[in-house]
Amino acid sequence: MLYRESGDFSTTYQQDGQTFPIKFDRYRYYAVMAIAFCIVPFLVNDYWVNAIFLPFLIYSIAAIGLNILTGYCGQVSLGTGGFMAVGAYACYKLMTGFPEINIFFHIILSGGITAAVCVLFGLPSLRIKGFYLAVATLAAILARRAGVATWAVEASTQGRNENARRLKCASGATGAHRGTS
């Protein structure tokens, strides 16, 4: 039977800081980790890794960051997802720009770029709290959205021109064809 002890009273900082104060929880944690590392890799295929586990791990990292900010620090942030998007976009641009470099270095560099953007928005809002911090993070969201919209328009027009050139080379004609003779 699964149970939780109630009325735990810690007398030392070491007891209070334990992640798993109940022995059964520690054993269950080690069992789940052993299954995750020893059995699951042999049972899953590429679909499960790319469509299920990878997004789960990414969202877990975002949730841990938000938990640290709101749970431990007591601050409200509405811009956490935007900073995560900056890191994802930076990694994408680095990977497409330098495909010969290992992904490990792309992730480290995109983390540095994200940290620089966080510092850019974080330093001005360092001394504000509560509602005003939420408003500052909303402003950061709007600024990032405007930047992404600008980049998306530039990327789409560049892509459109590149596709038009490919179409011209492939068919010998330009423009859209409606199927009329």
- Other Cβ atoms within 10 Å of 69 Cβ, number: 14
Higher pLDDT among residues 29 and 176, named by residue: 29
Per-residue pLDDT band at 73 (split at 50, 70, 90): confident
Residue 41 in this model has a pLDDT that exceeds 80: yes
Write down the pTM of the prediction: 0.57
Q: What is the pLDDT of residues 168-181, one digit of tens each?
A: 444 444 445 444 54
Q: Name the nearest CA neighbour of 77 among 63, 87, 58.
A: 63
The overall average pLDDT reported for the chain is: 78
Measure the CA–CA gap between 146 and 152, rounded to whole angstroms: 10
Q: What is the pLDDT of residue 156?
A: 55
Q: What is the pLDDT of residue 101?
A: 92
Higher pLDDT among residues 135 and 153, named by residue: 135
Which of the residue ranges 72-86, 115-129, 141-155 has the most confident prediction, judged by mean pLDDT? 115-129
Looking at residue 12, the DSSP 8-state letter turns out to be S
